[in-house]
Amino acid sequence: MEFLKVYDKICSVLQKYTQVNDANMFRINDPTDIGIKKNNELIVFIKLGTLNHKVIPQKEVADLKLKYPHLSIYSLTDGNNFMFYDYDDNKNGIHGFDSMMNILADKIVRLQVDVLSEIKDDKILSLDYLSNYTGIESYNYNGKKIFVFDDHRTTLAILFEAYRLGVFEGKAPNLITFDYHEDCCKVKSKSELLKKIGVSSLLKANSRQFWSFVEFDLSKVDDDWIAAAQELNLIKDVVIIGNEANSNVDNNAIIKDEDGNDHRIYSIPHLSSSLGNRGCLGDSFIKEPYYRDIRDCLGCHNDLFNPSYPFVLDFDLDCFSTDCRGYTIAWPELMFINEFEKNEKVNYFLKEMVEKASFITISREPGCCGGLGESNRILQYLDRYFFDGNLKTFKIR
């Protein structure tokens, strides 16, 4: 039976009994995998294929549970019969289509996964939990997590959660950020920052402590969170694209945190300029030392974007605003088209950045964009030209 027919059949049956819809029933990375979520956690995993075993191999059962800790049912199906493992009852079973739908409907309806109640010691258990916090929206784009929020310093809190959860396996990732401002005002030493957090080591900090530090101890105008992230070694090097408000970054400087780790900050123009003939990423004959360094940092060589080091891609929407006669407004749509659609080199680089980022953060910053309406306009343009409508914004008239 074809995958889409199975998908539609399962969905149509379960919709009669549960809240299954396109928001919580979805296709996972492999096009033959179906997932069903409850409270933003995967609780049912269904794989379409041939039933080659009498029971599902235990290693598959264990590996999937490790990846999706709230999983309740794992099932293999040929479209007619379902071989499944029930994690709650710790048992295997085989059912036909109708009886399996009854089991799934009952399971989904009665399974109550209260995500927030399972946060132990004020610690977030996965990045998926972030969408349960006030002001953070979470989206998926080609298997990539995108977090949207208002204040830019929230990016630091998310970087902390990624660090604590081991997303980067002990490394401090690089940060590529599109921002009209530098956000690099100096901060105190690591030991003094840890004292404000209330711990002797960052590993001892829980989510409540760190998020409180971000909210109440960092600048309310979001201009020091990058420096704090580097001092705490939550990010290694930073590339700021489109900075037009400040000019304080020394592209040749090496910044040492209190522990002696080296960091760099590069501030470069928008990609159309940087990738142009005389730009830092475009002209291989320009010999300024930092041009070589920034290309190495980005993995940008011979007109290709191929980073060898993990990075987070970040957008501050004020990067796509402009001042006009005393008013701050969103870029006209034609500017997005010329900058990111018609320029083939920029279009390629942007798509590669989105594809290769570990995850993506977007800060709306309405106060710096000319208001909520202008901020929403910019977000809609990003959604249209960067993320193929996956942020589910409404079309601007």
Output 348 or 128, whichever has higher pLDDT. Answer: 348
- The span from the CA of 276 to the CA of 299, in Å, is 17
Q: What is the pTM of this model?
A: 0.70
- The span from the CA of 107 to the CA of 42, in Å, is 13
> What phi-psi label fits residue 85: left (phi over 0), alpha (psi between -120 and 50 degrees) or beta?
beta
Mean of the per-residue pLDDT values for the chain?
Answer: 85
Question: What's the average model confidence in pLDDT over 350-360?
Answer: 96
Within 10 Å of residue 62's Cβ, how many Cβ atoms? 10
pLDDT tens digits for 41-78? 788 888 888 887 778 888 888 988 888 888 888 988 88
Q: Is the pLDDT of residue 20 over 60?
A: no
Comparing C-alpha atoms, which of 69, 29, 59 is closest to residue 47?
29
Residue ranges of domains in the chain, CATH in brackets:
3-110 (3.90.1570), 118-386 (no CATH)
Copy the structure tokens of residue 96: 């036909």
Q: Is the pLDDT of residue 79 over 60?
A: yes
Copy the structure tokens of residue 331: 């870029």
Q: What is the DSSP letter of 338?
A: I
**What's the pLDDT at 21?**
52
In a 3-state reduction of DSSP, which class is residue 199? coil
pLDDT tens digits for 194-231? 999 999 999 899 999 999 999 999 999 999 999 999 99
Percent of the chain with pLDDT over 70: 86
pLDDT tens digits for 231-286? 999 999 999 999 887 777 888 899 999 999 999 999 999 999 999 888 889 865 56
> Distance of CA 67 to CAs 75, 119, 355, Å?
15, 17, 22
Q: How confident is the model at residue 12 (pLDDT cuts 50, 70, 90)?
A: low
Identify residue 116 by its one-letter amino acid code: L
Cβ atoms 343, 390 nearer than 8 A: no
